[in-house]
Structure 1
Amino acid sequence: MQTLAPTPPLRPDAPAVAGVHADPRAADAAAGGFGVYVHWPFCLAKCPYCDFNSHVRQSPPDQARFIAAFRREIAYMRDLSGPRTAGTVFFGGGTPSLMAPGTVGAILEAVNDAWPLAKDAEITLEANPTSVEAERFRGYRAAGVNRVSLGVQALDDGELKALGRMHSVDEALAAVAIARSAFERVSFDLIYARPRQNPQDWARELSRAIDQDCEHLSLYQLTIEPGTAFEKLYSAGKLIIPDDDHSRALWDMTQEITTAAGLPAYEISNHARPGAQARHNLVYWRYGTYAGIGPGAHGRLNVGEARHATFTERNPEAWLAKVEANGHGIVSRETLTRPEQADEMLLMGLRLAEGVDLDRHARLAGKPIAPGRIADLASEGLVVLEGARLRVLPPGFPVLNAIIGTLAA
């Protein structure tokens, strides 16, 4: 096990199996749930580290036109999926808080018409501190949003500038306070393992974040993503990020501080108080099913007895034209084999502290994972097998990708 490579930090923007049931809603309940992801692709500026599908435009988009397109694509996806009860809705981006509250309300109405929302549905909206206003947040709450996730990213003004963020620390903390006054459920993101960051500075920053008394924190190590401005700087030797040992020390410190504060990691980069986990992201990680709506959205839908991976057109204007012409913006719809589903389930589920059900994995893969592979990893203190559930232990998370590669080989 000495050759395991470090795991790049993972972000919650990846896919989601339900077994074959007569009632698809029963299948959803048995296998991770069903959620709806809505992508709003516009931002005020492009951050240099970001590889998400986000676009800057000189003039504001026609929100009424986009509402009509979202409605049409939701109806099309409903025809594919059949009846479902939506346990979660997530507005991601881009910057969804650039939408008018009325736009959010209209989209939620269309979602509820297609897939009735559960009584306790979690409805999350991502927001940037620069677009947070108390009145706007009250409008989102009135529209049905009950959870907000803020892109704070750093609590140091110099670091915010280096990350290309348009807000200050004071603006970020004010946004958190406004969010807490409007919503019971509030989360925010921070990026660490930044250039020149030392453990002492990160400890102070993280402790200040915890002092904001939010129920959930998403803490991501900086990664150099292809096609970003940071990649160009990194390739030119103008951006130096912490080496593996330094990053590991920062990760270990993060676990110690958050656990002591009552915010243990329930996923490799996500921390929550008991019962405050992000339920929509759990749909992904528990390999449930979800509809991906909007430009550049992807989904995992059970269509009859087949599982489909859907991807929509990334360019907002091209997506809009496709929906208006065809009723949807899908550019790729692939039927996943059961072994492919098993690999996806493993990739997603082992990110969670709760691990994965190996019986479910074996049903998908058509065979169990070789016991010797599990035994080798367990002997290194990287995983533990408890009945049919396989969990990655804390020392294993920094090398998670290599563990998954060993198990899926």
Structure 2
Amino acid sequence: MTALADALGLYVHWPYCARICPYCDFNVYRPRGQDDALLDAILADMTGWRQRTGARPLASIHFGGGTPSLMTGARINRLIEHADQLWGFEDGAEIGLEANPNNIDNFADIIAAGVNRLSVGVQSLEDAALSQLGRDHDGALARRAIERAMSLCDRVSIDMIYARAGQTAASWEAELREILAFGASHLSPYQLTIEAKTAFGRRASRGEQLDSPVELAADLFDLTHDICDAHGLPAYEISNHARTVQDQSRHNRLYWEGGDWIGVGPGAHGRIGSAAGTGRLACEARAQPKAYIDAVAGAGSGLGATEQLSASDERAERILMGMRLDDGLDLEVLQRKTGLTIDIDALDRLGAQGLVEQRGARVRLLPAGRIFADRISGELVPDTP
């Protein structure tokens, strides 16, 4: 099995949602009857990417969105089979999909299509919170969806959102403990983030408080880690907890460890490696579904923009991603991929402050540094190229 820093993954973006959540800033759209045309475009785009990447087998596929669980099992299977024909799969390849509880009746077909990891977007078990978040399911359906997913699939992850307006430490603890009692082997609890170009962002700009105050959010972050640790789901990344190494998301670890991935579907991003020290290629597909479909039909590619990153830009990106992992940033991989290293003076200073430590070739956050991950990552990037 290829080390993830040298592996290749495939991300498939299905942009359609039955309802667009007010906190979401992803590239999403309401369905407009273009499903078949978009599916054909994604398949053709994949073929074009095979010519650019060669025959490296895939370590993972991830279906994101949007709501990829709106796709039929037959469509998902076509995409998986096409990927297998183009690249093939490594032994133990992960095929993951993000599922909405409202699509519970489609779960069996999704698993039968070849998906072996299901991420269920529960977000909350409380009806009032789900209404506040603009979700189109209630707590009862969320519970049934978790149970259904776990009856069908060995690898199930549950997504939650906390640090919501009006949430207390006691209410979040009760909700989190109930989620953990289902026994899923992976949990992704995310703090609510208010993004400017969303409905929540517009409401917040008018003075409405939609998330928790900073101090409470920090307390909830620590509480989340403490409770998950006690239940045998330690954090292997800032916002991701797993029972064992095998339960961790292989596709997401590929991102964090700096592997390559192809992005297909409207607005999908990708990163493709170049010669060491030259910076890898950053790719972004056309965002609008029709523009993406037309681009693939005309040029055989849905690409809207590419950028050859400089070695120093790639270093900054790798530091930001790698420091999110509990086992930290691999300095040997960073040197091999970019020809560069971190700011050693900053490492010494942050170490003296009890925020980071170095273990062999890896630099990792200490518990006190987790909540400052982005700031610390920025400090580890040298000021000069």
Residue in structure 1 matched with residue 110 of structure 2 by the alignment = 140
Residue in structure 1 matched with residue 92 of structure 2 by the alignment = 120
What is the Cα deviation at residue 360 of structure 1? Answer: 2.6
d(CA) in 1 for partners of 2:150, 2:164: 28
Name segments (4+ residues, structure 1) moved above 6 Å: none
What is the Cα deviation at residue 364 of structure 1? Answer: 4.4
Equivalent position amino acid for 2:325 in 1: L
Match status 1:217 vs 2:190: no
**Local SS of the residue matching 2:48:** helix
The 5 A counterparts of 1:182-261 are 182-261=152-231
The correspondence for 1:298, drawn from 251, 269, 287, is 269
Equivalent position amino acid for 2:264 in 1: I
**Local SS of the residue matching 1:31:** helix
1:196-224 CA distance string (max 9 Å, x none) = 11100000000010011101010100011
The correspondence for 2:13, drawn from 39, 42, 47, is 39
Equivalent position amino acid for 1:66 in 2: L
d(CA) in 1 for partners of 2:380, 2:61: 32
Q: Is the 8 A contact 1:81 1:303 kept in 2?
A: no
d(CA) in 1 for partners of 2:275, 2:87: 16
Residue in structure 2 matched with residue 22 of structure 1 by the alignment = none
In 2 relative to 1, CA 304–370 (structure 1 residues): closer, same or farther, beyond 3 Å?
closer
Residues paired across the two proteins, number: 379
CA RMSD, 1 decimal: 1.5
Match status 1:49 vs 2:23: yes
Q: Which moved more, 1:356-365 or 1:173-182?
A: 356-365
Residue in structure 2 matched with residue 325 of structure 1 by the alignment = 298
- State the percentage of identical aligned residues: 41
Residue in structure 2 matched with residue 105 of structure 1 by the alignment = 77
Equivalent position amino acid for 2:91 in 1: K
Q: Is the 8 A contact 2:312 2:340 kept in 1?
A: no
Gaps of 5+ in 2: none
**Local SS of the residue matching 1:132:** helix
Q: Is the 8 A contact 1:378 1:384 kept in 2?
A: yes
What is the Cα deviation at residue 188 of structure 1? Answer: 1.2
d(CA) in 1 for partners of 2:51, 2:340: 33
Residue in structure 2 matched with residue 171 of structure 1 by the alignment = 141
d(CA) in 1 for partners of 2:121, 2:381: 34
Match status 1:351 vs 2:324: yes
**Local SS of the residue matching 1:391:** strand
The correspondence for 1:285, drawn from 256, 263, 280, is 256
d(CA) in 2 for partners of 1:62, 1:370: 48
Q: Which moved more, 1:138-147 or 1:168-177?
A: 138-147
In 2 relative to 1, CA 124–318 (structure 1 residues): closer, same or farther, beyond 3 Å?
same
d(CA) in 1 for partners of 2:317, 2:6: 13
Q: Is the 8 A contact 1:291 1:298 kept in 2?
A: yes
What is the Cα deviation at residue 302 of structure 1? Answer: 2.6
d(CA) in 1 for partners of 2:73, 2:241: 28
d(CA) in 2 for partners of 1:154, 1:36: 29
TM-score of the aligned structures, taking structure 1 as reference length: 0.90
What is the Cα deviation at residue 244 of structure 1? Answer: 1.8
d(CA) in 2 for partners of 1:108, 1:240: 39
In 2 relative to 1, CA 96–367 (structure 1 residues): closer, same or farther, beyond 3 Å?
closer
1:293-314 CA distance string (max 9 Å, x none) = 1100010113577621110011
The correspondence for 1:79, drawn from 35, 51, 60, is 51
Equivalent position amino acid for 1:294 in 2: G
d(CA) in 1 for partners of 2:30, 2:213: 33
In 2 relative to 1, CA 169–32 (structure 1 residues): closer, same or farther, beyond 3 Å?
farther
d(CA) in 1 for partners of 2:358, 2:114: 41
Equivalent position amino acid for 1:280 in 2: H
Q: Is the 8 A contact 1:82 1:303 kept in 2?
A: no
Q: Is the 8 A contact 2:68 2:98 kept in 1?
A: yes
Q: Is the 8 A contact 2:234 2:241 kept in 1?
A: yes
TM-score of the aligned structures, taking structure 2 as reference length: 0.95
Which structure is richer in relative contact order (CA contacts within 8 A, separation 6 or more)?
Answer: 1
Residue in structure 1 matched with residue 335 of structure 2 by the alignment = 362
Residue in structure 2 matched with residue 403 of structure 1 by the alignment = 376
What is the Cα deviation at residue 119 of structure 1? Answer: 2.9
Q: Is the 8 A contact 1:32 1:282 kept in 2?
A: no
Residue in structure 2 matched with residue 386 of structure 1 by the alignment = 359
**Local SS of the residue matching 1:46:** coil
In 2 relative to 1, CA 32–257 (structure 1 residues): closer, same or farther, beyond 3 Å?
farther
Residue in structure 2 matched with residue 70 of structure 1 by the alignment = 42
What is the Cα deviation at residue 283 of structure 1? Answer: 0.4
**Local SS of the residue matching 2:170:** helix
In 2 relative to 1, CA 32–158 (structure 1 residues): closer, same or farther, beyond 3 Å?
farther
Q: Is the 8 A contact 1:265 1:353 kept in 2?
A: yes
